[in-house]
Amino acid sequence: MIRFEHIHKTYNLGKTRFTAIEDLSLEIAQGEFVALAGPSGSGKTTLLNLAGCLDKPDRGHIWIEGEDVTGIPLAALAVKRRSRLGFVFQTFNLVPVLTAFENVEYPLMLGGAPRRARQAVVTIWLDRVGLTPHAGQRPDQLSGGQRQRVAIARAMVASPAVVIADEPTANLDSATTVNILDLLEQINRETATTFLIATHDPLVMERATRTVMMRDGRIVSPERGTPAKAERALAC
pLDDT of residue 226: 45
Q: What is the signed CA dihedral for 213, 216, 218, 222, rounded to 10 degrees?
A: -10
Residue-wise over 140-166: b if at least 16 C-beta within 10 A, else e?
eebeebbbbbbbbbbbbbbebbbbbbb
What's the pTM value of the predicted model, to 2 decimals? 0.89
pLDDT of residue 148: 96
Contacts of 176 (CB under 8 A, 6+ apart): 143, 144, 145, 148, 169
pLDDT tens for the chain, residues 1 to 236: 899 999 999 998 888 888 999 999 999 999 999 999 999 889 999 999 999 999 999 999 999 999 999 988 888 888 888 889 999 999 999 999 999 999 999 999 988 999 999 999 999 999 999 999 999 999 999 999 999 999 999 999 999 999 999 999 998 999 999 999 999 999 999 999 999 999 999 999 999 999 999 999 999 876 654 433 433 433 33
pLDDT of residue 76: 85
Could you give all domains of the chain from N- to C-terminal order, each with its CATH number?
A: 31-49+73-235 (3.40.50.300)
